[in-house]
């Protein structure tokens, strides 16, 4: 199954189960990837989390039912997953700008959030600097933490991990043991097709086979794979976020490759990360469709 069809299957599943309690892992299964990677891809493609999308769709449909069918507020609240009329009223008012009771009376001023559909749109003017690399297995030494797949959490916990690595000398220790000091890696281990609610994230560097491992650090092998290696120039984090979007919207939809969903690596060079000339890379293991 290709990239576009998999994501569209997941979106169709959401719409067909919009009034059910939806497990993110069940959504991800329709796209043939883990819950972690589906959330990451969805956010990159759509600029919102899955939770935000589902909530906006439910509130749109709830507004339509209240205004056209004149359904009871409590019935609509329960139908769309709210445990009480009070919590539903807060969410509804924040989204629509009017209360459910006002929507039921006249329906004016309601907002609509339409369902998403994945389509390939051919655009010109963008050049993505990438190469396809066959790379043998290699060793990395690093520190690893476990993070929640919930993007509302990991968007804070991962930067905190990097901040701690700089403050406490982890980066310095890694570079002392590196066989190649060009890049420090941020490695997301994506749990492939599992339904785990967490994923491991490593800050690491490439190392030799006979490296002396300091206490608290681990050595892992990155398996031999075919990779897309995309180059990035610009200030962090905006530049690398933009590159992720280009990979997901301009490379995978039209290429003969798809990600393996095992992991991905962001490779950071030394230097001023706020500089417009700062250089970094994204590595994604791939396979033929």
pLDDT, tens digit, 9 for 90 and up, residues 188-245: 997 665 667 888 999 999 999 999 999 999 999 999 999 999 999 999 999 999 999 8
Report residue 39's pLDDT band, with 50, 70 and 90 as the boundaries.
Answer: confident
Question: What's the whole-number mean pLDDT along residues 106-120?
Answer: 81
All structural domains of the chain: 3-105 (1.10.10.60), 130-288 (3.20.80.10)
Q: Which among 56, 58, 24 has a CA at the least distance from the CA of 41? A: 24
pLDDT at 164 over 90: yes
Q: Which of 43-47, 80-84, 199-203 comes out lowest in average pLDDT?
A: 43-47
Q: Which parts of 97-201 fold into alpha helices (H)?
A: 100-105, 151-167, 170-176
Q: At what angle do helices 35-46 and 238-246 cross, to 10 degrees?
A: 100
CA distance 20 to 81: 7
pLDDT of amino acid 206: 97
- For the cut 70, the answer to whether the pLDDT of residue 120 exceeds it is no
Q: Which residue has the higher pLDDT, 17 or 42?
A: 17
Q: Which residues pair with 198 in a beta bridge?
A: 148
Confidence of residue 123 (pLDDT cuts 50, 70, 90): low
Rounded average pLDDT over 79-94: 95
Q: What are phi and psi of 129, to 5 degrees?
A: -85, 105
Sign of dihedral through CA atoms 131, 134, 140, 144?
positive
The residue-averaged pLDDT of 161-175 equals 97
Spatial contact of 31 and 45, defined as CB atoms under 8 Å apart: no
What's the average model confidence in pLDDT over 51-78? 93
Does residue 65 have a pLDDT over 90?
A: yes
Residues 130 and 189: their CA atoms lie apart, in Å, by 22
Task: Please tell me the predicted confidence (pLDDT) of residue 175.
Answer: 97
The tens digit of pLDDT for each residue in 237-272 reads 999 999 998 898 888 888 889 899 899 999 999 999
pLDDT of residue 193: 56
Number of other residues whose CB lies within 10 A of the CB of residue 180? 10
């Amino acid at each position: 199954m290709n990239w576009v069809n998999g994501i569209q299957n997941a979106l169709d599943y959401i719409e067909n189960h919009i009034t059910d309690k939806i497990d993110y892992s069940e959504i991800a299964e329709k796209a043939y990837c883990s819950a972690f990677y589906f959330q990451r891809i969805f956010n990159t493609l759509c600029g919102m989390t899955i939770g935000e999308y589902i909530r906006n769709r439910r509130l749109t449909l709830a507004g339509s039912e209240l205004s056209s069918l004149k359904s009871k507020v409590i019935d609509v609240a329960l139908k769309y997953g709210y445990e009480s009329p009070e919590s539903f009223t807060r969410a509804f008012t924040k989204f629509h700008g009017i209360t459910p009771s006002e929507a039921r009376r006249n329906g004016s001023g309601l907002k609509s959030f339409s369902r998403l559909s994945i389509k390939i749109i051919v655009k010109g003017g963008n050049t993505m600097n990438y190469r396809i690399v066959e790379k043998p297995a290699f060793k990395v030494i690093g520190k690893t933490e476990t993070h929640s797949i919930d993007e509302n959490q990991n968007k804070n916990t991962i930067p905190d991990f990097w901040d701690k690595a700089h403050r406490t000398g982890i980066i310095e220790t890694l570079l002392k043991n590196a066989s190649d000091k060009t890049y420090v890696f941020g490695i997301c281990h994506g749990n492939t097709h599992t339904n785990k609610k967490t994923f491991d994230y490593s800050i690491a560097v490439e190392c030799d086979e006979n490296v002396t491992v300091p206490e608290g650090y681990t050595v892992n092998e990155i398996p031999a794979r075919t990779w897309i290696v995309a180059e990035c120039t610009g200030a962090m984090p905006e530049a690398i976020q933009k590159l992720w979007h280009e990979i997901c919207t301009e490379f995978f939809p039209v290429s003969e490759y798809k990600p393996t969903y095992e992991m991905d690596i962001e490779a950071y060079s030394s230097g001023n990360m706020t500089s417009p000339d700062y250089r970094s890379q994204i590595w994604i293991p791939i396979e033929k469709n």
